[in-house]
Amino acid sequence: MSGNITRLNAIAAINSYAPIKQQLNFAETPTRELFNANVFSTAVMKERLPKAVYKSVIATIEEGQMLDISVADAVATAMKDWAIEKGATHYAHVFYPLTGLTAEKHDSFLSPDGNGSAIAEFSGYQLIQGEPDGSSFPTGGIRPTFEARGYTAWDVTSPAYILENPNGTTLCIPTAFVSWSGEALDKKTPVLRSNQAINAQAQRILSLLGDADGGMVSSTAGPEQEYFLIDRNFYYARPDLLTAGRTLFGAPSPKGQEFDDHYFGAIPERVLGYMLECEAELFKLGVPVKTRHNEVAPGQFEVAPMYESANVATDHQQIMMTTLKRVAPKYGMVCLLHEKPFAGINGSGKHVNYSLGSPTLGNLLEPGDTPHDNVRFLIFTAAVIRAVSKYASLLRSVVASAGNDHRLGANEAPPAIISIFLGEQLTDVFEQIKSSGGATSSKQIGTLTLGVDTLPPLPLHAGDRNRTSPFAFTGNKFEFRAVGSNQSIAMPITVLNTTIAESLDFIATELESVDGDLNDAIQALLKTILEEHGSILFNGNGYSAEWHEEAAKRGLPNLRTTVDALPAFASEESIALFKKYGVLSEREVESRLEVKLEQYAKVINVEANLALEIGRTMIWPAAIRHQNDLATTCANLKAVGYEFDTDTLDKVTELVKYLQDNLAALEMKMTHEADSVLAEAQYACDVLMPQINLVRKYADELEGYVADDLWPLPTYQEMLFIK
C-alpha cells in the first residue's frame, strides 16, 4: 500500500534529484555587464535617440514635465530596432490590474505588406496606447462586463525591457491601465498621481526654506522580499499549497526555528544556484538586487534591492516576484510567496524601505550628524509622524489581506497596531521639541571597541533598531514592515505619498501665513504636531501584551483582521484625502474596497473547499485505515488472550469522529449566501475561518497518531528540512 502514497513517492523523487549543471559563468560575463543589459535605459536612449528627443524624454523622467507626444514616433522606432536586435518578435504592454498580479498583452511587430511578405512596424501610437479587454479584470463595478474597452498608457518614467524565452524575446513596455471612461483600473496610475501630489507639496516646504532649486521631489523605495522554497515534488503532493498557496493542514515539526540556526546560515547549494540565476535575470532587467540570505524560518530566504524611484521600484517588485517563481522549477523547487505558508513558524513580509528625495538635495530624511539643527529633516520627519498618526487606519487597510491576517500580530511580525519607532537619538530630539519648543542637542554617534587588538573599532549608531515596529526609522528612511510578501507595494506607496503630501500641505499652509520669525514658527508648529500626534511613537516591544494595553489607552486603532481594516480605506476621511490630491476619485476608492472584499471572501471560500476536499478524500480515509488496523490488531490480540490497552484506538476513534463532524459542519456553513460583499467577507472571517481551523485542529492531531506509511500529505518536517 505504501508504494501508492503520494507523499512517499515525493520523498523518493527528491532523493533521486540530479543537481542542475552550472549555467552561469560570471568570469565570462561579469555582473557589471549583465546589469541593464535588457533594459531600454537612459544610456541606450542617449545613444539611439536624436538629441532633442532624448532631452525631451529625460525632462519627463527626471523633472516630471508633461510628455511631448511628438517624440513618440522617434522613441518607438529606436525601441523597436533595439528590441529586434535582441531577438524580439513581439511587444507587450505590461500593466498591473487590481488582481495584484502582472498582466501583459503580446502583439507581433510583423504586419503583412500586401505583397506576400511582412514588415516590422511599431509606431508612436502603438507605443503610447494599447487596448486590452477592460471588463475581464476586477473593477469593483466601474466597468460592467458588457462595457469592455480599456486602455494602456505608456509610462515613460519606467524603462522598457526585454523578456527572454528560449524561443525568442518580447519587448515589455510598462503602462498604466485605465477604463474607457478614464478611471484607473490598475495599481500604477495612483502611484504616479501620488508622486505628483507629494512633489507639489514638498516644493512649497523647500521654497519656504530657500531650498527650491527645481529638482523634482519623489518617493524612493527598496522593498525586501521574503519567500519560502520547497521541493516541487512536495508542492504537487499538497493540494492546499498548489491551490491556496498555504498549508491548511500540518502538525508542527519536532524541530522548528527554536534554535535560530537557519537565520544567516550557510545557504544550501541548490538554493544558492537558484539565487544566483534569479539575480542574473534581475540584473539584466535593471533590478538592483543587493542582498541575499537565509531568513529565520527553515526553508525561508530573502532578497533585497537597493533604493530607487518608488514607481520603478513598484514595477521591479512585480518583476522580482515573477522571476522568483519562474526560475524555481528549473532547480526542482517551488517559490512560495504567501504570507504564512506554514503555521507556527515565521511568515513572510515585504519590508518597504521608504524615503523622499530629489536629484539635487538628496535624501530629505537624512538626519546628518546634528539632526536637532537640521530644520528640513525635522519638518519632513514631522510630516511623516503626523501622516502615520492621522491615517493609521488607512495605512493598516492597505496591508490587509487574507494571507497577511495569518502573519500580522504573530510572534514574528509587526502587530496590527500601527506605530512608529524613531530610535533613541531622534526620540530625544523630538522630546526636546515637545517639552521646550526646540531642540538644542543630539545624542552623538559613538565607537564600539571589541576588546581584540586585531579587530577594528566600529562606529556605533546613535540608536538601535526595532524589528517589532510596523513603521520604523532606520537611519535615513522609514521601513514599513507590515506589508505582506505576496502584495504589490503600489498601494502602500500611494497611501504613504498621499498622506505625507497632506501633512506637508498642512505645514506649508501654516508657515506661509507667518509674519514673524520663520524659525520660531517652525519650532512652535513642530511642538504642536508632537503634542497632537506623539502617541504614535513607541520604541518598545510591539509584540508584548503590555503594548496592546498601552496602545488602547493611547487611542491607537487595533484592526485585527482584514474585514476590520478594509472599511477604513473608503471612509469619508480617506475619500476626501484621495480626492483633494487627485490620487483617486470616490468611485475609484469604492471600487478598490469592493475588489479587496471580494478577493478576501473568495480566498476563504477556496480554502474552505480545499479543507473539505483534502479532509474527506485524503486525511479521513488515512485515519479510517489506521483505525481499522488498530481495531484488527486489538481483536487479534484479544482472541489469543492478550490484554491490550485500547487508549490509542479510543483516541483515534474520537478524533476521527470530531474530524467527520467538523467537516460536515464546514460543508453546511458553506451554503450561506450574503446580501453584500462586506457581509460575505464578514461571514468568511467570523464563521468559515474558525470552522476551517477546527477541521485543521483534529486533522493535525490525527497526524500524530496515523501510521507514517498511511499519512498522505508531506509533513512540515519533510517540506521544511529536505532540500
Average of per-residue pLDDT across 463-478:
85
Which cell numbers hold the place of 495?
A: 497611501
Does residue 199 carry a pLDDT above 70?
Answer: yes
The pLDDT of residue 626 is above 60: yes
For residue 316, give the amino acid letter: H
Least confident of 180-184, 525-529, 575-579, 706-710: 180-184
In whole angstroms, what is the distance from residue 199 CA to residue 574 CA?
20
Fold for domain 35-186? Ubiquitin-like (UB roll) (3.10.20)
CA atoms of 266 and 254, how far apart (whole Å): 22
Residue pLDDT, tens place only, 580-618: 999 999 999 999 999 999 999 999 999 999 999 999 999
Domain boundaries, the chain: 35-186, 194-223+351-448+457-584
What integer pLDDT is reported at residue 578 of this predicted model?
98
pLDDT at 544: 87
Secondary structure of residue 325 in the 3-state scheme: helix
Q: Per-residue pLDDT tens for 126-177?
A: 888 877 766 677 777 776 655 667 788 899 999 999 999 888 899 999 999 8
Strand 150-154 relative to strand 168-179: parallel, antiparallel, unpaired?
antiparallel
- Residue 313: closest CA among 292, 286, 278: 286
What are residue 446's DSSP bridge partners? 460
Q: pLDDT band at 643, cuts 50/70/90?
A: confident
Q: Is the pLDDT of residue 15 over 70?
A: no
Alpha helices in 210-254 (DSSP H): 232-236, 239-244
User: pLDDT tens for residues 381-390?
Assistant: 999 999 999 9
Q: How much is the pLDDT for 2?
A: 41
Rounded distance between C-alpha atoms, residue 574 and residue 387, angstroms: 12
**Contact by Cβ (8 Å): 169, 86:** yes
Closest by CA to 223, choosing from 105, 109, 348, is 348
Global pTM reads 0.93
Considering the chain, what percentage of its residues have pLDDT values greater than 90? 69
pLDDT confidence band for 412 (50 / 70 / 90):
low
pLDDT tens by residue, 345-360: 999 999 999 999 999 9
Round to whole Å and give the CA distance between 364 and 161: 30
pLDDT at 119: 65
Query: What pLDDT was estimated at residue 85?
Result: 94
What's the CA gap between 97 and 495, in Å, rounded? 17
Q: How far apart are CA 134 and CA 497, in angstroms?
A: 27
Contacts of 88 (CB under 8 A, 6+ apart): 109, 162, 168, 169, 170, 171
The pLDDT score that the predictor gives to residue 143 is 60
